[in-house]
Amino acid sequence: MGDRATLHRLWEKWALPFISVSGDKPLTGAALINVSADRPSRFYTLIVEQEVLSFKPSGMRPMMEAIRNNSLHTDYFYIGPDKYLVTAILENVYCARCVNARNLSGCGVIISRHAPFIIIATYEGAVCEACKAAEVVESFLDQLSQAVA
């Protein structure tokens, strides 16, 4: 699984150039979740790192269950007050758009699973920004797979 210090260093190195609330970077928030199956279900979700987002494990349970059951795409899901709908699924990646976005260009989320981790990354904008966000998430997953190998 990789030790906590290694994951923290990797996260810090990745998050700084790619995450910003102001919208001048590809992502507006991100979280790294450990969903190791060897823990009891009540401890299923462990937030390893998060930037800008403020998840609490109890609030994530419905979304994590839907990801684990491969049913996230069958209904709306929530991240904080925002309601999302999955618009695309690519292997182990869900792309979703916010249906109650407060800005005209919209916003979305990329959720990618790379056992035993899930990364959740939010972005603002349309298709072009979604592609940039997906690319940034993929770069982190590449680094993560090398670090935990």
CA distances to 22, 53, 105, 121, 137 from 93, rounded to whole Å, are: 25, 19, 22, 11, 10
Instruction: Tell me how far CA of residue 14 lies from CA of 76, 77, 116, 138, 142, in angstroms.
Output: 29, 27, 19, 11, 11
37-41, 126-130, 140-144: least confident range: 37-41
The predicted pLDDT at position 56 comes to: 81
Q: Where are the domains of the chain?
A: 4-148
Return mean pLDDT, the chain.
Answer: 86
Residue 107 tokens, joined: 């916003």
The pLDDT assigned to 42 comes to 57
pLDDT computed for residue 1 by the predictor: 45
Q: Provide CATH code, domain 4-148.
A: 3.30.450.30
pLDDT > 70? residue 2: no
- pLDDT for res 24: 85
More confident residue, 88 or 3: 88
**Interval 48-95: pLDDT, tens:** 898 988 888 777 888 888 888 889 999 999 888 889 999 999 888 999
Average pLDDT over residues 122-131: 89
Among residues 98, 66, 61, 93, which one has the least CA distance to residue 82?
Answer: 98
Strand partners, 64: none
pLDDT of residue 38: 66
Q: What is the pTM of this model?
A: 0.88
Structure tokens at 59: 């609030």
Which range has highest mean pLDDT (4-8, 79-83, 103-107, 135-139)?
Answer: 135-139
- pLDDT tens-digit map of 8-37: 999 999 999 999 887 789 999 999 988 876
